[in-house]
């Protein structure tokens, strides 16, 4: 997969939206903050494993992965560490196979419960270890304001940065009492599936984001442009 292809496609979409007469949609990278995310592999290589998770907070920024406007998710990006050969073999054997992940859209409910509304295609990650990989979706995912963009990891993924500030945290779809169990399968892998995001992991960050194209406002929602004002007429010159 080419890293350039999705970037060019999104750039072309941005140009189309900026063209005269185009609907006033916007392109927003959900999860983007000033401090770039970074995986800690291969040194002290901790990985996300067998769960669905989303970043809850980075510094003063809360609700980092919450959709700000209705629209469609068209791509997602992940920053991957580069585990060594022995590390890769260990995780493959202990956590169900080759590193993989997919984007997941959640509708949050009460008491930390969230329902899966849509998912992207699963992607094998090992060809992109040590890079920032962007995956365009075969079909864009419709989203509503207030929903959450999560990352589902059915096996394992080197996307975890650790030893960050105490004001940085992410949540996982693990039950009460199961936060230390990182090998039991808790990933949400089906649409309409309900999960409870009881477990919160502080000082850690999932290194992913998603590209949102917002729904343009309807004609009724767009205020009319002000009528042009003609300049005052120039009085005729007085006869000499």
State the total domains in the chain.
1
* Residue range 99-114: mean pLDDT, rounded: 96
**Domain assignment present for 28:** no
**Domain assignment present for 130:** yes
pLDDT tens readout for residues 24-69: 889 999 998 877 777 888 988 999 999 999 999 998 888 999 999 9
For the record, the structure tokens of 109 come out as: 């409910």
Q: What is the DSSP letter of 155?
A: E
CA atoms within 13 A on the CB side of 174: 22
For the record, the structure tokens of 124 come out as: 């094998």
Least confident interval from 89-103, 139-153, 209-223: 209-223
Query: What's the confidence (pLDDT) of residue 77?
Result: 96
Output the pTM of the full model: 0.82
Distance (Å, whole) CA 165 – CA 148: 23
Burial category of 43 from C-beta neighbours within 10 Å (exposed 0-12, middle 13-18, buried 19 and up): exposed
pLDDT class for 4, splitting at 50, 70, 90? Answer: very low
Full residue range of the structural domain in which residue 165 is found:
38-176+183-211
């Amino acid at each position: 997969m080419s890293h350039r292809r999705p970037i060019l496609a999104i750039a072309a979409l941005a140009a189309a939206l900026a063209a005269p007469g185009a609907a006033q949609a916007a392109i927003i990278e959900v999860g983007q903050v000033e401090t770039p995310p970074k995986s800690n592999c291969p040194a002290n290589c901790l990985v996300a494993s067998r769960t669905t998770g989303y970043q809850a907070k980075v510094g003063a920024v809360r609700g980092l992965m919450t959709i700000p406007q209705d629209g469609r998710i068209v791509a997602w990006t992940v920053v991957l560490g580069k585990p060594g050969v022995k590390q890769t073999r260990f995780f493959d054997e202990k956590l169900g196979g080759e590193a993989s992940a997919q984007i997941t859209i959640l509708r949050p409910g009460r008491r930390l419960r969230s329902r899966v509304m849509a998912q992207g295609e699963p992607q094998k990650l090992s060809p992109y270890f040590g890079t920032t990989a962007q995956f365009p979706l075969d079909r864009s995912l419709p989203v509503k304001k207030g929903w959450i963009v999560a990352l589902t990891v059915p096996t394992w993924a080197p996307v975890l940065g650790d030893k960050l500030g105490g004001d940085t945290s992410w949540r996982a779809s693990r039950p009460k009492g199961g936060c230390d169990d990182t090998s039991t399968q808790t990933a949400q892998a089906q649409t309409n599936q309900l999960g409870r995001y009881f477990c919160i992991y502080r000082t850690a960050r999932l290194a992913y984001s998603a590209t949102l194209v917002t729904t343009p406002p309807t004609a009724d929602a767009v205020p009319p442009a002000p009528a042009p004002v003609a300049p005052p007429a120039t009085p005729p010159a007085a006869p000499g």
